A and B are shown apart, each in its own frame.
Chain A
Amino acid sequence: MDRINVSTLLLAVLGMPAFVVPTTATAGDYRDQALAMVKRDFQAKGSAGLDRLEEDGLQSVCNRTGNHPPKEIAARLEQDQLASIEMPADGNLMGDWKAGEKLAQSGRGFTWTDKPGLPVGGNCYNCHRISPSETSFGTVGPSLYQFGKLRGKGPEVQQYVYQKIFNAKAFNVCSEMPRFGHIGALKEAQIKDLVALLLADDSPVNSK
């Protein structure tokens, strides 16, 4: 992400008269105290270094605004995130749904008890219903069952799904979904496999 760009935006956020800090007048003080406390109290462990406590620009905006930045700011940030998405050079977005299903099942990666580095899991079932045969699914995100049936599988839908997985914040700046491609957690081929899981005709997601 372009840090300078974001800092400028941040200044704009904080300087805007329409911008209202969501809690009390002292909320800023508590935030500062909280950040100082967190920096004092955490220690690096495994692959989880202290650098993870440094907010990037987008996180900072979401944190300062209770995940509801002013519309104009949100739109600018979303544009930035969208522009930073790298689309596959070959233009093909549909991979292997079976590999996608396997990836969707795994929640491994990036914790201090996980093996450092890649590959990491897609974490999809942690939050979404996907294939009907997997009954152990989370509900933090919407159900994706029948996604292709309901939304089609044309080029626009394929592009949207690829982009959403690559960087969910391009569509909703403070979305709770991680930016899997943006942070380099999932590689191009893996994201394609997940696109296929949601859209392929023969994927169990679209069965019946």
Chain B
Amino acid sequence: MNPSRRQALKAGGSLGLFSALVALGLVKPGDAWAEAWNKGAFDAKSTADALAALGANAPTMVGEIAITAPDIAENGAVVPVGAVSNLPGTTQIAYLIEKNPSTVAAVFDIPPGTLPEVQTRVKMGQTSNVMILVKADGKYYAAQKEVKVTVGGCGG
């Protein structure tokens, strides 16, 4: 049993929901669960290391990945970033923020039946490229966009 499954069951145990689901047969022990937290990827301090840890050494830069992020973020503490992949067979979408202390912000699994699009909000320490990495049909593709981070406001 992988760690995240164990954690999920532990969580379920304390709250009753997952154990109830298992008992009802809604969740079968053999069901595929999300991959374990990829420590190697989240520890990566550069885009190259992050891509290597994600197994995506030289992704092809493509136009079929749309990134929604502000040109200038009012506040680096909360930067809304959305990604849509138009690549058939998309199974994973990852957010990489080049200038952050840890490059990888998020890795999303897209099971069959789930649309290859996601939105979340990230922290950015400074102006940086935001790369969206997509795994489609087992291959890696990417697009990126620069987001400027301002230190706005009056001095008072």
Contact = CB atoms under 8 A, between A and B. Distances in A.
Interface of A: 105-108, 111, 121, 123, 126, 136, 138
Dominant secondary structure at the B interface: loop
Contacts of A107: 154-156
A108 B154 CA distance: 9
B156 A111 contact: yes
A108 B152 contact: no
Nearest to B155: A107
Nearest to B150: A136
A138 B154 contact: yes
12 contacts: A105-B155, A106-B155, A107-B154, A107-B155, A108-B155, A123-B155, A123-B156, A126-B154, A126-B155, A126-B156, A136-B150, A138-B154
Contacts of A106: 155
A126 B150 CA distance: 16
Nearest to A111: B156
Interface string B131-156: 00000000000000000001010111
A121 B156 CA distance: 9
A108 to B, nearest CB: 5
Nearest first, the 3 A-B pairs at minimum CB distance are: A107-B155, A107-B156, A126-B154
Interface of B: 150, 152, 154-156
A183 to B, nearest CB: 16
A65 to B, nearest CB: 27
Nearest to B156: A107
A121 B154 CA distance: 11
Contacts of B150: 136
A138 B155 CA distance: 12
Nearest to A114: B156
A3 B103 CA distance: 63
Contacts of B156: 107-108, 111, 123, 126
Contacts of B155: 105-108, 121, 123, 126
Contacts of A108: 155-156
A51 B155 CA distance: 24
Contacts of A123: 155-156
Contacts of B154: 107, 126, 138
Nearest to B151: A136
A111 B155 CA distance: 10
Nearest to A107: B155
Residue in B152, B154, B156 whose Cβ sees the most chain A Cβ within 10 Å: B156
Contacts of A136: 150, 152
A106 B155 CA distance: 6
A104 to B, nearest CB: 10
A105 B154 CA distance: 9
Nearest to A105: B155
Contacts of A138: 154
A125 to B, nearest CB: 8
Contacts of A126: 154-156
Residue in B152, B155, B156 whose Cβ sees the most chain A Cβ within 10 Å: B155
A81 B83 CA distance: 61
Nearest to A122: B155
Contacts of B152: 136
A108 B150 CA distance: 18
Contacts of A111: 156
A109 to B, nearest CB: 8
